[in-house]
Amino acid sequence: MKKSNKFYCSLMATVITTVLSSGCVSECGKKLNNKPLGIIKASAYGEKKLVQQSPIKNNWQLIWSDEFEDINGDGSLDSSKWGYEVGFIRNKESQYYTKDRRNNVRVEDGKLIIEGIKEDFTAKNGKKSSYTSGSINTLGKFSFKYGRIDVRAKLAGGRGCWPAIWMMGTDRKKYGWPKCGEIDIMEYVVSGKKENPLRVHSTVHGPNYDWKTEKEPRTGYLLFDRPPTEDYHVYSLEWNQDSMKFYFDGKMFLSLKNTQNKEWVYSKPYYILLNLALGGSWGGEIVNDDLPAKYYVDYVRVYEKLAK
Ligand SMILES: [Ca+2]
Protein backbone atom coordinates (compact mmCIF):
# COMPACT_ATOMS: atom_id res chain seq x y z
CA MET A 1 0.00 0.00 0.00
CA LYS A 2 3.00 2.25 -0.18
CA LYS A 3 4.73 3.38 -3.30
CA SER A 4 7.42 5.76 -4.38
CA ASN A 5 8.17 7.69 -7.51
CA LYS A 6 11.44 5.88 -7.93
CA PHE A 7 9.50 2.71 -7.87
CA TYR A 8 7.50 3.78 -10.90
CA CYS A 9 10.52 4.93 -12.84
CA SER A 10 11.98 1.52 -12.23
CA LEU A 11 8.73 -0.11 -13.17
CA MET A 12 8.46 1.71 -16.46
CA ALA A 13 12.06 0.94 -17.32
CA THR A 14 11.47 -2.75 -17.11
CA VAL A 15 8.05 -2.81 -18.56
CA ILE A 16 7.08 -5.88 -20.48
CA THR A 17 4.16 -5.42 -22.74
CA THR A 18 1.71 -8.07 -23.58
CA VAL A 19 -1.29 -7.40 -25.72
CA LEU A 20 -4.27 -9.17 -24.31
CA SER A 21 -7.44 -10.24 -25.89
CA SER A 22 -10.43 -8.19 -24.80
CA GLY A 23 -12.73 -11.13 -24.30
CA CYS A 24 -14.78 -11.28 -21.15
CA VAL A 25 -15.88 -14.12 -18.94
CA SER A 26 -19.46 -14.20 -17.72
CA GLU A 27 -18.52 -12.62 -14.38
CA CYS A 28 -17.91 -9.28 -16.09
CA GLY A 29 -21.54 -8.38 -15.83
CA LYS A 30 -23.21 -6.07 -18.30
CA LYS A 31 -21.20 -4.72 -21.15
CA LEU A 32 -21.40 -1.06 -22.04
CA ASN A 33 -22.41 -0.59 -25.64
CA ASN A 34 -21.79 -4.29 -26.05
CA LYS A 35 -18.12 -3.59 -25.67
CA PRO A 36 -16.27 -5.21 -22.79
CA LEU A 37 -13.55 -3.36 -20.95
CA GLY A 38 -10.48 -3.61 -23.13
CA ILE A 39 -7.02 -4.35 -21.79
CA ILE A 40 -4.38 -2.33 -23.61
CA LYS A 41 -1.36 -3.57 -21.76
CA ALA A 42 -0.25 -5.93 -19.01
CA SER A 43 3.01 -5.25 -17.27
CA ALA A 44 4.69 -7.39 -14.67
CA TYR A 45 7.89 -7.82 -12.81
CA GLY A 46 9.09 -11.27 -12.01
CA GLU A 47 8.18 -14.22 -14.03
CA LYS A 48 6.32 -13.23 -17.16
CA LYS A 49 3.41 -15.31 -18.27
CA LEU A 50 0.94 -14.96 -21.03
CA VAL A 51 -2.63 -14.69 -19.97
CA GLN A 52 -4.53 -17.89 -19.70
CA GLN A 53 -7.96 -18.94 -18.65
CA SER A 54 -8.56 -19.53 -14.99
CA PRO A 55 -8.74 -23.13 -13.81
CA ILE A 56 -11.44 -22.18 -11.34
CA LYS A 57 -13.83 -24.80 -12.60
CA ASN A 58 -11.61 -27.70 -11.68
CA ASN A 59 -10.42 -29.05 -8.36
CA TRP A 60 -11.35 -26.07 -6.20
CA GLN A 61 -13.57 -26.21 -3.14
CA LEU A 62 -15.16 -23.17 -1.55
CA ILE A 63 -14.01 -22.89 2.09
CA TRP A 64 -15.14 -19.35 2.99
CA SER A 65 -17.21 -16.64 1.41
CA ASP A 66 -19.36 -13.61 1.96
CA GLU A 67 -21.98 -12.85 -0.66
CA PHE A 68 -23.00 -9.73 1.30
CA GLU A 69 -26.60 -10.67 1.71
CA ASP A 70 -28.18 -8.64 4.48
CA ILE A 71 -28.35 -11.47 7.02
CA ASN A 72 -29.03 -9.13 9.95
CA GLY A 73 -31.77 -7.21 8.15
CA ASP A 74 -30.27 -3.85 9.09
CA GLY A 75 -27.50 -3.41 6.54
CA SER A 76 -24.77 -4.36 9.00
CA LEU A 77 -21.88 -6.69 8.22
CA ASP A 78 -21.73 -10.32 9.27
CA SER A 79 -19.65 -9.82 12.43
CA SER A 80 -18.61 -13.47 12.44
CA LYS A 81 -16.64 -12.69 9.29
CA TRP A 82 -15.53 -9.07 9.46
CA GLY A 83 -14.11 -6.56 11.87
CA TYR A 84 -13.22 -2.90 11.45
CA GLU A 85 -10.13 -0.75 11.44
CA VAL A 86 -10.99 2.46 13.28
CA GLY A 87 -9.42 5.89 13.08
CA PHE A 88 -6.49 7.23 11.11
CA ILE A 89 -4.47 4.13 10.27
CA ARG A 90 -1.74 4.56 7.66
CA ASN A 91 -0.11 6.39 4.77
CA LYS A 92 -1.14 9.86 6.00
CA GLU A 93 -4.55 9.25 4.52
CA SER A 94 -7.27 11.85 5.08
CA GLN A 95 -10.15 9.62 6.05
CA TYR A 96 -11.23 8.55 9.51
CA TYR A 97 -12.29 4.92 9.34
CA THR A 98 -15.53 4.55 11.25
CA LYS A 99 -16.85 1.44 12.98
CA ASP A 100 -20.23 -0.10 12.26
CA ARG A 101 -21.54 3.13 10.74
CA ARG A 102 -23.90 2.52 7.84
CA ASN A 103 -23.00 5.78 6.10
CA ASN A 104 -19.55 4.36 5.47
CA VAL A 105 -20.00 0.56 5.45
CA ARG A 106 -23.23 -1.25 4.70
CA VAL A 107 -24.70 -4.25 2.98
CA GLU A 108 -27.34 -3.42 0.40
CA ASP A 109 -28.92 -5.35 -2.47
CA GLY A 110 -26.43 -8.19 -2.12
CA LYS A 111 -23.43 -5.87 -2.19
CA LEU A 112 -20.98 -4.48 0.31
CA ILE A 113 -20.78 -0.72 -0.08
CA ILE A 114 -17.83 1.21 1.33
CA GLU A 115 -18.49 4.91 0.95
CA GLY A 116 -15.99 7.73 1.22
CA ILE A 117 -17.63 10.94 2.39
CA LYS A 118 -16.62 14.60 2.76
CA GLU A 119 -18.15 15.70 6.06
CA ASP A 120 -17.30 17.25 9.37
CA PHE A 121 -16.99 14.22 11.61
CA THR A 122 -16.20 13.94 15.29
CA ALA A 123 -15.53 10.48 16.66
CA LYS A 124 -16.60 9.32 20.12
CA ASN A 125 -13.01 9.78 21.25
CA GLY A 126 -13.13 13.42 20.18
CA LYS A 127 -11.00 13.04 17.06
CA LYS A 128 -12.15 15.20 14.18
CA SER A 129 -11.93 14.58 10.48
CA SER A 130 -13.07 16.16 7.24
CA TYR A 131 -13.43 12.78 5.58
CA THR A 132 -14.81 9.40 6.59
CA SER A 133 -14.66 5.98 5.00
CA GLY A 134 -14.47 2.28 5.86
CA SER A 135 -11.87 -0.47 6.19
CA ILE A 136 -12.90 -3.99 7.09
CA ASN A 137 -10.88 -7.16 7.60
CA THR A 138 -11.07 -10.79 8.69
CA LEU A 139 -8.28 -10.68 11.29
CA GLY A 140 -9.07 -13.09 14.13
CA LYS A 141 -12.09 -14.42 12.23
CA PHE A 142 -10.70 -15.98 9.08
CA SER A 143 -7.31 -16.48 7.50
CA PHE A 144 -5.91 -18.93 5.01
CA LYS A 145 -2.64 -20.23 3.68
CA TYR A 146 -2.67 -21.13 0.00
CA GLY A 147 -5.73 -21.35 -2.17
CA ARG A 148 -7.62 -19.00 -4.39
CA ILE A 149 -9.53 -15.82 -3.58
CA ASP A 150 -12.00 -14.19 -5.95
CA VAL A 151 -13.38 -10.73 -5.22
CA ARG A 152 -16.01 -9.29 -7.56
CA ALA A 153 -15.98 -5.53 -7.21
CA LYS A 154 -16.88 -2.23 -8.83
CA LEU A 155 -14.25 0.30 -7.94
CA ALA A 156 -14.71 3.82 -6.61
CA GLY A 157 -13.38 6.25 -9.17
CA GLY A 158 -13.35 9.68 -7.56
CA ARG A 159 -10.13 11.65 -7.63
CA GLY A 160 -8.24 10.92 -4.40
CA CYS A 161 -9.92 7.55 -3.98
CA TRP A 162 -7.80 4.49 -3.33
CA PRO A 163 -9.91 1.32 -3.11
CA ALA A 164 -8.07 -1.91 -2.37
CA ILE A 165 -8.41 -5.66 -1.99
CA TRP A 166 -5.46 -6.96 -0.01
CA MET A 167 -4.10 -9.34 2.62
CA MET A 168 -1.57 -9.23 5.42
CA GLY A 169 0.10 -11.96 7.47
CA THR A 170 -1.78 -12.75 10.66
CA ASP A 171 1.48 -12.18 12.60
CA ARG A 172 1.48 -8.47 11.78
CA LYS A 173 1.26 -7.40 15.43
CA LYS A 174 4.15 -9.69 16.35
CA TYR A 175 6.55 -8.83 13.54
CA GLY A 176 5.26 -5.56 12.10
CA TRP A 177 5.31 -4.48 8.49
CA PRO A 178 6.82 -5.45 6.08
CA LYS A 179 8.02 -8.65 7.79
CA CYS A 180 4.44 -9.80 8.21
CA GLY A 181 4.06 -9.68 4.44
CA GLU A 182 1.44 -7.97 2.33
CA ILE A 183 -0.33 -9.19 -0.78
CA ASP A 184 -2.17 -6.47 -2.70
CA ILE A 185 -4.60 -8.23 -4.99
CA MET A 186 -5.99 -4.98 -6.34
CA GLU A 187 -5.16 -1.34 -5.80
CA TYR A 188 -6.65 1.48 -7.81
CA VAL A 189 -5.50 5.06 -7.51
CA VAL A 190 -7.02 7.85 -9.53
CA SER A 191 -5.10 11.02 -8.78
CA GLY A 192 -1.88 10.03 -7.03
CA LYS A 193 1.44 11.21 -8.38
CA LYS A 194 2.16 9.72 -11.77
CA GLU A 195 -0.95 7.63 -11.49
CA ASN A 196 -3.33 6.77 -14.24
CA PRO A 197 -7.06 6.15 -13.75
CA LEU A 198 -6.87 3.49 -16.44
CA ARG A 199 -4.61 1.22 -14.37
CA VAL A 200 -5.10 -1.31 -11.61
CA HIS A 201 -2.16 -2.76 -9.71
CA SER A 202 -1.24 -6.01 -7.99
CA THR A 203 1.80 -6.05 -5.71
CA VAL A 204 3.43 -8.02 -2.92
CA HIS A 205 5.46 -6.49 -0.12
CA GLY A 206 7.84 -8.17 2.28
CA PRO A 207 11.28 -7.71 3.82
CA ASN A 208 12.92 -7.99 0.43
CA TYR A 209 10.15 -6.59 -1.71
CA ASP A 210 9.03 -3.45 0.03
CA TRP A 211 8.74 -0.01 -1.50
CA LYS A 212 11.59 1.38 0.62
CA THR A 213 14.39 -0.97 -0.34
CA GLU A 214 13.08 -1.95 -3.75
CA LYS A 215 15.60 -4.73 -3.75
CA GLU A 216 13.26 -6.84 -5.72
CA PRO A 217 9.95 -5.16 -6.47
CA ARG A 218 7.16 -7.54 -7.18
CA THR A 219 4.30 -5.90 -8.94
CA GLY A 220 2.26 -5.66 -12.09
CA TYR A 221 -0.53 -3.61 -13.52
CA LEU A 222 -3.18 -3.68 -16.17
CA LEU A 223 -3.88 -0.70 -18.40
CA PHE A 224 -7.44 -0.46 -19.71
CA ASP A 225 -9.07 1.48 -22.51
CA ARG A 226 -11.41 3.17 -20.03
CA PRO A 227 -11.62 3.36 -16.24
CA PRO A 228 -12.47 0.04 -14.57
CA THR A 229 -15.10 1.79 -12.45
CA GLU A 230 -18.12 1.37 -14.69
CA ASP A 231 -18.83 -2.24 -13.94
CA TYR A 232 -18.01 -5.24 -11.78
CA HIS A 233 -14.87 -7.24 -12.41
CA VAL A 234 -13.32 -10.23 -10.67
CA TYR A 235 -9.93 -9.73 -9.04
CA SER A 236 -8.26 -12.99 -8.05
CA LEU A 237 -5.18 -14.45 -6.45
CA GLU A 238 -4.16 -18.05 -6.85
CA TRP A 239 -1.53 -18.95 -4.28
CA ASN A 240 0.42 -22.08 -3.45
CA GLN A 241 3.81 -23.02 -2.05
CA ASP A 242 5.48 -22.34 -5.38
CA SER A 243 3.89 -19.15 -6.66
CA MET A 244 1.30 -16.38 -6.53
CA LYS A 245 -0.71 -15.69 -9.65
CA PHE A 246 -2.94 -12.64 -10.10
CA TYR A 247 -5.98 -12.64 -12.35
CA PHE A 248 -8.38 -10.09 -13.78
CA ASP A 249 -11.70 -11.54 -14.94
CA GLY A 250 -10.11 -14.97 -15.07
CA LYS A 251 -7.05 -13.89 -17.00
CA MET A 252 -3.67 -14.11 -15.37
CA PHE A 253 -1.39 -11.11 -15.74
CA LEU A 254 1.18 -11.49 -12.97
CA SER A 255 2.95 -14.59 -11.68
CA LEU A 256 5.48 -14.46 -8.85
CA LYS A 257 7.63 -17.47 -8.14
CA ASN A 258 8.71 -18.54 -4.66
CA THR A 259 12.32 -17.45 -4.37
CA GLN A 260 13.00 -20.11 -1.74
CA ASN A 261 14.90 -17.65 0.44
CA LYS A 262 14.21 -16.59 3.99
CA GLU A 263 12.62 -13.36 2.86
CA TRP A 264 9.77 -15.17 1.17
CA VAL A 265 7.08 -14.46 3.75
CA TYR A 266 4.18 -15.93 1.81
CA SER A 267 4.11 -19.39 3.38
CA LYS A 268 1.83 -18.66 6.31
CA PRO A 269 -1.76 -17.61 6.96
CA TYR A 270 -3.00 -14.26 5.67
CA TYR A 271 -6.18 -12.35 6.44
CA ILE A 272 -8.28 -10.28 4.04
CA LEU A 273 -8.78 -6.49 3.99
CA LEU A 274 -11.17 -4.35 1.95
CA ASN A 275 -10.95 -0.59 2.23
CA LEU A 276 -11.49 2.71 0.53
CA ALA A 277 -8.76 5.17 1.40
CA LEU A 278 -8.91 8.86 0.53
CA GLY A 279 -5.77 10.82 -0.27
CA GLY A 280 -2.59 9.96 1.56
CA SER A 281 0.84 9.09 0.27
CA TRP A 282 -0.43 7.39 -2.85
CA GLY A 283 -4.06 8.42 -3.14
CA GLY A 284 -3.07 11.96 -3.99
CA GLU A 285 -5.21 15.07 -4.07
CA ILE A 286 -8.83 14.61 -3.09
CA VAL A 287 -11.35 16.46 -5.23
CA ASN A 288 -14.32 17.09 -2.96
CA ASP A 289 -16.71 17.37 -5.89
CA ASP A 290 -16.03 13.69 -6.64
CA LEU A 291 -17.35 12.65 -3.21
CA PRO A 292 -19.19 10.80 -1.91
CA ALA A 293 -17.64 7.84 -3.71
CA LYS A 294 -18.86 4.27 -3.44
CA TYR A 295 -16.81 1.09 -3.65
CA TYR A 296 -18.99 -1.97 -4.26
CA VAL A 297 -18.09 -5.60 -3.55
CA ASP A 298 -20.43 -8.32 -4.74
CA TYR A 299 -18.65 -11.22 -3.10
CA VAL A 300 -15.46 -12.55 -1.57
CA ARG A 301 -14.89 -16.27 -2.15
CA VAL A 302 -11.96 -18.35 -0.94
CA TYR A 303 -11.22 -21.79 -2.31
CA GLU A 304 -8.76 -24.51 -1.49
CA LYS A 305 -7.34 -26.85 -4.02
CA LEU A 306 -8.52 -30.42 -3.77
CA ALA A 307 -6.03 -33.22 -3.96
CA LYS A 308 -6.09 -34.75 -7.39
CA1 LIG B 1 -23.40 -10.45 -3.53
SS (HEC) of 165-208: EEEEECCHHHHCCCCCCEEEEEECCCECCCCCCCEEEEEEECCC
Q: Would you place residue 59 in the very low, low, confident or very high pLDDT band (cuts 50, 70, 90)?
A: confident
The answer to which of 1-10, 79-88, 116-125, 190-199 has the lowest mean pLDDT is 1-10
| Torsional class of 207: left (φ above 0), alpha (ψ -120 to 50), beta (otherwise) | alpha
- Read off the pLDDT of each residue in 223-234 and give the average, rounded to a whole number: 92
- 174-186 pLDDT tens trace: 999 888 999 999 9
pTM of this prediction?
Answer: 0.84
Domain limits of the chain?
5-305
Separation between Cα atoms, residue 111 and residue 107, nearest integer Å:
6
* Residue 107 alpha carbon to ligand 1 centre in Å: 9
* Residue 139 alpha carbon to ligand 1 centre in Å: 21
HEC profile of 101-151: CCCCEEEECCEEEEEEEEEEEECCCCCEEEEEECEEECCCCCCECCEEEEE
Neighbours of 92 (CB within 10 A): 10
> What's the pLDDT score for residue 20?
37
Q: Give the residue numbers marked as catalytic.
A: 182, 187
* Residue 111 alpha carbon to ligand 1 centre in Å: 5
* CATH value of 5-305 in 2.60.120.200, 3.40.1080.10, 2.60.40.3500, 2.70.98.10: 2.60.120.200
- 262-295 pLDDT tens trace: 678 999 999 999 999 999 988 889 999 999 999 9
Q: What is the DSSP letter of 263?
A: T
- Read off the pLDDT of each residue in 59-85 and give the average, rounded to a whole number: 94
- 113-166 pLDDT tens trace: 999 999 999 999 999 999 999 999 999 999 999 999 999 999 999 999 999 999
* Residue 124 alpha carbon to ligand 1 centre in Å: 32
Which residues have beta carbons under 5 A from ligand 1 (an ion)? 67-68, 110, 298-299
Q: What is the DSSP letter of 56?
A: T
Report whether pLDDT(1) > 80: no
* Residue 257 alpha carbon to ligand 1 centre in Å: 32
